[in-house]
Amino acid sequence: MKLDYGKVQAFAGQVINDLSAGMSGVLVQIGEELGLYRALRELGPTNARALSKKTGTFERYVQEWLNNQAAGGYISYDPEQKTYYLPEEHALILADSNSPFFMAPGFQVVSSLWYDKDKTVQDFREGKGIGWHQHHHNLFFGTEAFFRSGYRANLVNEWIPALEGIGEKLLAGGKVADIGCGHGASTILMATRYPNSIFYGFDYHPESIEMAKSRAHEAGLANVVFKVAAAKDFEESQFDLICYMDAFHDFGNPLEAIQHAKAQLNDGGSIMLVEPASFDELEKNFNPIGRMFYAASTTLCVPHSHSQEGGYCLGAQAGPERVRQIVKEAGFSQFRIAQRTPVNLIFEIKK
């Protein structure tokens, strides 16, 4: 077999880029945690000495951190002035936690995958599954912060208004369930936007529910109730909207879950499934977004689903048709893609 060494070199370059990104991701998390990006934004063009003084960090480490960030294009360097600065466009992604583009917490999720690597290797061998609650706590906090940015940008401004009659109903006063709410980021955003409605957040993970309660208290919200409950057995009913925010594909038995939701839904109400962006044709998912979601699916989504009864193991790239089949089997008459973003599909389901 004759090797094409040009292809060998090209692929080696790709792997070097991935190694560089993987190693540098740790420094992104460090920069976010120590406030280095926020300080850069405030200081403007600066150097390691000024940045270390402002953040109370060791100057020599900060110098190497700055050089790494400049080498990766995350920050900029002025060779004449010998100063570093954070472009405002980058600050929206790295330094502003209120920005709809804030992505730095994603690396906290990545760190949790490394913490749990040995556990995942063992699960590959045994195939028993790994429940969400069995992962490192970085996963819970990183997921909340990372997804909150997208929800802040789209949930109450785009997704709910795209649902038939739901926005108006919630403004007047409705009842909403957020299934698999985690730390409550999506629930709290909706409750803040629609103060006349009442919102229930359900999650099977007690520690996440306690954190969600704390978040709601900090926000001063009186129209939110958080309870420990699984998707298939929450007791409240008569909901105008039931939401699954990046959770449906994680269930061991999504059919059973959505059948239960149907029984708890008002006539005229809607179910909103927010799922990772994907296509039915496998090859269309072979892109950077799909690569990211397949990584999460391999280490988080499928193992969690497999740890529960049901055996569906949809994964994060199941595709619209697979979801539609489950919805149809559950007895719903209406199913449509209400919105699509680069990272999400938003399905509306009605009786």
Number of independent structural domains in the chain: 2
- My answer on whether 259 and 292 are in the same domain is yes
Return the structure tokens found at 231: 């998707």
Return the structure tokens found at 291: 């690569």
**How confident is the model over 167-181, as pLDDT tens digits?**
999 999 999 999 999
- My answer on whether 167 and 263 are in the same domain is yes
What DSSP line would sit under 55-120, residue for residue? HT--HHHHHHHHHHHHHTTSSEEETTTTEEE--HHHHHHHT-TTSTT--TTHHHHHHHHHHTHHHH
- My answer on whether 250 and 295 are in the same domain is yes
Answer with the one of 61, 94, 127 that is the final residue of a domain: 94
pLDDT of residue 67: 98
Mean pLDDT of the chain: 95
Comparing C-alpha atoms, which of 266, 269, 210, 272 is closest to residue 247?
272
pLDDT of residue 311: 87
Percent of the chain with pLDDT over 90: 91
In a domain, 261, yes or no: yes
Residue 12: helix, strand or coil by DSSP?
helix
Return the structure tokens found at 268: 């005229």
- My answer on whether 135 and 27 are in the same domain is no
- My answer on whether 128 and 30 are in the same domain is no
pTM for the predicted model, two decimal places? 0.91
- My answer on whether 123 and 89 are in the same domain is no
pLDDT band at 305 (very low <50, low <70, confident <90, very high): very high
pLDDT band at 146 (very low <50, low <70, confident <90, very high): confident
Pairing between β-strand 198-203 and β-strand 175-179 as defined by DSSP bridges: parallel
In a domain, 101, yes or no: no
Exposure class string for 313-327: b at 16+ Cβ within 10 A, else e: bbbbbbbbebbbebb
Domain extent at residue 298: 106-350
CATH number (domain holding residue 230): 3.40.50.150
- My answer on whether 209 and 282 are in the same domain is yes
**How confident is the model over 270-285, as pLDDT tens digits?**
999 999 999 999 999 9
